[in-house]
């Protein structure tokens, strides 16, 4: 039997195959971040037939200060719940499961978008922009933890099958994890365990509000691919800590290098990272990055590079990609 067609069991999030549609920003929400007809139509088209076992909804801002871009989806207020229920219902009706990704942009935004000064763990320039954020106080960090908690509650109340915490692509939690941008000398900085304390606090807060049976995923930027940044050795230690804290699935991507490795166009170019993480944890590991061929997806699973395969741009370009991939094994 094909590895891609195998169900995922022995996990809080059971799946009927190993094919995942990872989060991709669409900029299709309305001006207030609420679900629009365009978003409903988009996810209806992508999920039709249930060939994709899990669809992870694009990153959604937990507070206005953490909004990354115009027309980004919002999970910042209770008034978003009713329209989000329509989104989860459409995907479920089509036969797929769905998880919502929650995020704070930190210094990867600007005042034009939020109306506020960007914030970060330290007043250090963001490597991907010219922005120097305001350094967060302990009180402000505690408030952000609460905002993640409230966002996770809204995700569950909106009918989703799980929640994914975003710590990749240069956003706030990536900024805390990375020694490039976290120069704090308090409990939220310093050594590696200090730099992931905010993650562990968020995981605990989320678990407290969603309960023991609701799946928590975490997207980990496992390497910044920059001198002095996050290394895979850092991420192996972090991954073990996240598993112990209650994360159910780790979704591996890039850090400040975002979702690419410059000059590397191989199928599954983050596979050295996912394989290294898979060697130190027992929970499922999801690999995304440059996978456009079903043969590559099958090979990456067969060789133990990951437990789940995310196909992004190929599905974005061709809504029938998943159907053709699954039916190619029959």
Q: Which residues are catalytic?
A: 171
Task: Note whether 33 and 73 are within 8 A (CB).
Answer: yes
280 vs 139: CA distance, rounded Å: 34
The DSSP 8-state label assigned to residue 256 in this structure reads T
7 vs 235: CA distance, rounded Å: 27
113 φ, ψ (degrees, to nearest 5): -85, -45
Task: Note whether 44 and 94 are within 8 A (CB).
Answer: yes
213 vs 233: CA distance, rounded Å: 30
36 vs 41: CA distance, rounded Å: 9
Angle CA 77–80–84, to nearest 5: 140
The bridge status of strand 285-288 relative to strand 249-253 is: parallel
49 vs 11: CA distance, rounded Å: 23
307 vs 305: CA distance, rounded Å: 7
Cα radius of gyration (the chain): 18
Longest dimension (CA), the chain: 57
Token digits of residue 183 = 């120069």
242 vs 240: CA distance, rounded Å: 5
- DSSP, collapsed to helix, strand or coil, labels residue 218 as strand
Token digits of residue 15 = 């799946």
Residues in the chain: 330
């Amino acid at each position: 039997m094909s590895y891609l067609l195998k169900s995922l069991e022995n996990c809080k999030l059971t799946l009927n195959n190993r094919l995942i549609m990872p989060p991709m920003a669409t900029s299709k929400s309305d001006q207030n971040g609420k679900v629009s007809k365009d978003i409903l139509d988009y996810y209806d088209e992508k999920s039709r037939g249930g060939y994709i076992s899990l669809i992870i909804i694009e990153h959604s801002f937990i507070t206005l200060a953490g909004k990354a871009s115009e027309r980004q989806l919002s999970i910042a207020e209770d008034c978003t719940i009713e329209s989000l229920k329509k989104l989860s219902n459409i995907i479920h009706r089509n036969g797929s499961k769905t998880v919502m990704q929650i995020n704070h942009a930190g210094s990867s935004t600007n005042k034009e978008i939020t109306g506020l000064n960007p914030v970060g763990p330290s007043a250090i320039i963001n490597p991907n922009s010219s922005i120097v954020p305001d350094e967060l106080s302990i009180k402000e960090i505690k408030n952000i933890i609460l905002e993640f908690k409230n966002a996770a509650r809204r995700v569950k109340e909106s009918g989703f099958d799980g929640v994914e915490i975003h710590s990749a692509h240069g956003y706030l939690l990536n900024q805390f994890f990375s020694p490039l941008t976290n120069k704090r000398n308090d409990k939220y900085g310093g050594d590696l365990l200090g730099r992931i304390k905010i993650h562990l606090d968020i995981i605990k807060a989320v678990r407290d509000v969603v309960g023991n049976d609701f799946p928590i995923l975490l997207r980990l930027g496992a390497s910044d691919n920059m001198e002095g940044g996050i290394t895979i050795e850092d991420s192996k230690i972090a991954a073990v800590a996240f598993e112990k804290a209650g994360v159910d699935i780790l979704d591996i991507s890039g850090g400040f290098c975002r979702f690419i490795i410059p000059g590397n166009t191989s199928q599954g170019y983050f596979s050295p990272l996912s394989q290294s993480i898979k060697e130190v944890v027992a929970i499922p590991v999801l690999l995304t990055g440059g996978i456009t061929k079903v043969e590559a997806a099958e090979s990456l699973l067969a060789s133990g590079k990951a437990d789940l395969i995310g196909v992004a741009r190929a599905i974005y370009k061709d809504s029938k990609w998943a159907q053709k991939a699954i039916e190619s094994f029959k």
